[in-house]
Amino acid sequence: MPELTAQSRVEAPVEEVFAWHERPGALDRLMPPWAGVQVLERRGGLRDGDRVVLEVRKGPLRCRWYARHFDYEAGRRFCDEQVEGPFAEWVHMHDFLPHEAGGCLLRDRVRYRLPLGAVGALIAGRDIRKQLTRVFGHRHRTVREDLLRHGRFSDRGSLRIAITGASGLVGRALDAYLGGGGHSVWRVVRRATQPDAPEIGWNPAAGSIERSKLEGIDAVIHLAGENIAAGRWTTQRKQAIRNSRVLSTELLARTLADLDARPRVLVCASAVGYYGHRGDEPVDESAAAGDGFLADVCRQWEAASEPAREAGIRVVNLRLGMVLAVSGGALPRMLTPFKWCLGGPVGTGRQQVSWIASEDLVGCVEHALFNDTLAGPVNATSPQPVSNREFVRTLGQVLRRPTVARMPAAVVRLLFGQMGTELLLSGVRAMPGRLQSSGFAFLYPDLVSALRRELGLFDFHAERAAGTEIHFA
């Protein structure tokens, strides 16, 4: 029976590494975004008899993976085995040991057997080894990076954090990341709240919110808003985009300002669309608002948070660039044409792309929560923006695909109208001046490393240099 062993040195105490694995959000953080695995249900935690249900997706195929935990030893070890799922047999042992150089030796050992015996091993054995190497490379890097970043604020204690838009791309990532950091995350939801669940109900269109549940919340992260790229910008669609941001922010800011126990900080999403089209000109947070629909929406969006600021709440308006995430947003839409060798520049390709790696964005939000010097507009972008032509060339190199199928500007305007003009043909070179001056350190400042991280295309020489070893027996 094949056996995989993956081990790393993590620069954190054994007890803290083990505790991270037990926290809400850790399992979601460990699931690679490109692997097609989703956590459907948890019954308990990591103790003997606790269970988890996963959905494994491969193209149009779906299957359930039921796993049961056993051999739990607090601070030292836990195991899980497949009860039902895609493998004929799967047993995963997690060990947490003191490392001779300090910190923790994190070791995963997996014994597995494929269906159909020798035939299954012959057909899929090599591919499974490759996939497992990528999966465990992701897992160990995530543990190292998350604990490193959380450790910078370990003396500040845990927070009760409310998140609007928690079901969106950024909200899901933050929910898992902050939960893994030991914080209590409360999701602000439009549906009926579940009894005893950490949820706060609201209806921005009706101007209602469960105010009593916000009392005593330490921090609020406001991400809610209609998807700006979901369709052509009709008059009705533009009004929905504007209202979903401005009205919800007004309701939230007024409510927080009127609480008896107000939060210390409100991190409110905005976008680099605030600057409009700026060509090659580098811009920082001191730049004035630009022209266009998005710039006008962002200006009103940020202004709507003023009641919270006037009430003494520290407000951070995060002007987000394009978030690189394979689980949603712009990147997965690009991957399909690139896989068919149809990727290429849009329009002239000279328009600037201000982007940020998903892993850096969650760290950026945590930094904003705890850094008392940050207030007002903050560009949440990589320090290395690129042109559209450079972006597609780099993506093509990472995917090993050509980038010659240019989309003319006239076709963009015909297909997408104003949305295409402002989202695809315009650009801004937004620089993260305030983030960097406040001490934020990017893990993935360059586009190649960010894309390889998100797509699971690791440099395993670099992984070994970082202390991760993966081998099969």
Q: What is the mean pLDDT of residues 240-253?
A: 96
Q: Look at residue 132 in the predicted model and tell me its pLDDT.
A: 93
Same domain, 103 and 174: no
Same domain, 50 and 183: no
Is 72 a domain residue? yes
Report in angstroms the alpha-carbon separations of 176 from 21, 146, 344: 12, 11, 34
HSE-CB of 145 using CA atoms within 13 angstroms: 20
- Range(s) of the domain holding residue 61: 3-151+459-472
Lowest mean pLDDT among 28-42, 67-81, 397-411, 457-471: 457-471
Each residue of 425-447: pLDDT tens digit? 999 999 999 999 999 999 999 99
Same domain, 124 and 178: no
Each residue of 106-162: pLDDT tens digit? 999 999 999 988 888 888 889 999 999 999 999 999 999 999 999 999 899 999 999
Q: Percentage of residues in the chain with pLDDT exceeding 90?
A: 84
Are 290 and 426 within 8 A, CB to CB?
no
Burial 264-275 (b: 16+ CB within 10 A, else e): ebbbbbbbbbbb
CATH of residue 193: 3.40.50.720
Region of 431 on the Ramachandran plot (φ > 0 left; ψ -120 to 50 alpha; else beta): beta
Q: Look at residue 23 in the predicted model and tell me its pLDDT.
A: 95
- Stated pTM of the model: 0.95
Is 412 a domain residue? no
User: What's the total number of domains in the chain?
Assistant: 2
- The most distant pair of C-alpha atoms in the chain lies apart, rounded to whole Å, by 69
Length of the chain in terms of residues written: 473
Each residue of 206-240: pLDDT tens digit? 999 999 999 999 999 999 999 998 888 999 999 99
Each residue of 187-197: pLDDT tens digit? 999 988 888 88
Same domain, 85 and 133: yes
Cite the beta strand spans of 119-194 per DSSP E: 160-164, 184-189
Are 132 and 114 within 8 A, CB to CB?
no
In three-state secondary structure terms, 415 is: helix
Are 219 and 265 within 8 A, CB to CB?
yes
Same domain, 128 and 37: yes
Same domain, 288 and 370: yes
Q: Look at residue 465 in the predicted model and tell me its pLDDT.
A: 67
Scan for tokens 């107000």, then name that residue: 262
Is 448 a domain residue? no
Q: What is the mean pLDDT of residues 414-425?
A: 91
Is 8 a domain residue? yes
- Whether the pLDDT of residue 24 is over 90: the answer is no
- Whether the pLDDT of residue 244 is over 90: the answer is yes
Is 395 a domain residue? no
Same domain, 257 and 314: yes
Tell me how crowded residue 17 is: count the other CB atoms within 10 A of its CB. 22
Q: Look at residue 452 in the predicted model and tell me its pLDDT.
A: 94
